[in-house]
């Protein structure tokens, strides 16, 4: 049995799962999405992801034509249909079928898509050896134009940054905000540790309020590890003892080099390892069964 993809209440094979060329999700990137993980039959931080999807939609005045409960059911149903216990879910809501103009009023009904796939983490080797990252020149979107909190289908800001990272021969990029302070990576939040304190940029630095970021903050509080949301510069990162990135796909991944500077002793740090192990414990309990 092949993969089944949910579109507007029906299941389609991978080959038949298609949307119209008049869908404003395609024409303008007009829509929102979520990336969610499941671990051994549990949807990790399910409520948080569903809530964020509806908040993104609300911010762009997109009325999702179903309740949060029904959306959660659609996700569960898709997971059961595909018999996947450990997977990556892509939940997409587009403005829907319209005409060639921008006007969202021309779009009759949003398109709701649920795709489940195998988890696509970075190669295991990078979790063991740590990642190298570079600062790139594409600034993170400013909140007055496209707020980084909106997980919209328009990810060109992040893709341009990713292209710069790839051109530099590495996998991830540090994006700065318009004031030159550290914001986040292309699909991950950024953290550093200095003298036993964990630091991450505050939301007003122009970052997505990552759900994995939130989980790390919760773990730190629970384990009584000091954690601060503080405006950070590249200098702070260069001189940190440990660094790591967080995201639903990447989970927690250590960073060992940034802009050719060694971070700490150039190996994944001990506190990072502790956080990774606590995070894995959390994925076993914090979720909704499907």
Q: Which stretch binds ligand PXG (CB under 6 A): 77-85, 160-168, 185-193, 231-239?
A: 185-193
Tell me which of 4, 151, 194, 228 is the catalytic residue.
151
Contact criterion met (CB below 8 Å) for 243 and 190: yes
Minimum CB distance to ligand PXG, residue 195 (Å)? 26
Among 27, 211, 232, 271, binds ligand PXG (CB under 6 A): 211
* Contact status: 38 vs ligand PXG (CB under 6 A): no
What would the x/- binding string for ligand PXG be over residues 116 to 135, using CB under 6 A?
--------------------
Angle at which helix 270-283 crosses helix 211-222, to 10 degrees, equals 110
Residue from 184, 220, 275, 287 binding ligand PXG (CB under 6 A): 184
From the list 248, 276, 224, 280, the residue with the least C-alpha distance to 45 is 248
| 151 flagged as catalytic | yes
Q: Is residue 210 involved in binding ligand PXG (CB under 6 A)?
A: yes
Residue whose structure tokens are 């991978």: 14
Q: Report the distance separating Cα 257 and Cα 263, nearest Å.
A: 5
Interface of this chain with ligand PXG, residues 138 to 177, rule: CB under 6 A = 158
Q: Which of 96, 118, 91, 81 is nearest to 30 (CA)?
A: 96
Strands 189-194 and 197-200, sheet pairing: antiparallel
Residues binding ligand PXG: number (CB under 6 A): 15
Tokens of 160: 């341009």
Binding site for ligand PXG (CB under 6 A): 35, 158, 184, 187-189, 208, 210-213, 246-249
């Amino acid at each position: 049995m092949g993969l089944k993809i949910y579109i507007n209440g029906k299941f389609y094979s991978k080959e038949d799962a298609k949307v119209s060329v008049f869908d404003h999700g395609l024409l303008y990137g007009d829509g929102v999405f979520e990336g969610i993980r499941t671990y051994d039959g549990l949807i990790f931080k399910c409520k948080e992801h569903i809530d964020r999807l509806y908040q993104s939609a609300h911010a762009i005045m997109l009325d999702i034509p179903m309740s949060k409960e029904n959306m959660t059911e659609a996700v569960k149903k898709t997971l059961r249909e595909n018999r996947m216990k450990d997977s990556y879910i892509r939940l997409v809501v587009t403005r829907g079928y319209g005409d060639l103009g921008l006007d969202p009023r021309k779009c009759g009904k949003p398109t709701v898509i649920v795709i489940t796939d195998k988890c696509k983490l970075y190669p295991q080797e990078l979790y063991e050896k740590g990642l190298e990252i570079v600062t790139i020149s594409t600034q993170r979107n400013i909140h007055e134009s496209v707020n980084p909190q909106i997980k919209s289908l328009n990810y060109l800001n992040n893709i341009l940054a990713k292209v710069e990272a790839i051109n530099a021969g590495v996998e991830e990029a540090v994006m700065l905000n318009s004031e030159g302070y550290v914001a986040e990576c292309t699909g991950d939040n950024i953290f550093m540790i200095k003298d036993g304190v964990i630091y991450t940029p505050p939301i007003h630095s122009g970052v997505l309020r990552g759900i994995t970021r939130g989980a790390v903050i919760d773990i730190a509080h629970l384990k009584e590890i000091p954690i601060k949301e503080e405006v950070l510069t590249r200098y702070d990162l260069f001189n940190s003892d440990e660094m790591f990135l967080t995201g639903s796909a990447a989970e927690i991944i250590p960073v060992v080099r940034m802009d050719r500077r060694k971070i700490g002793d150039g190996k994944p740090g001990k506190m990072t390892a502790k956080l990774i192990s606590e995070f894995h414990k959390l994925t076993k309990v914090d979720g909704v069964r499907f």
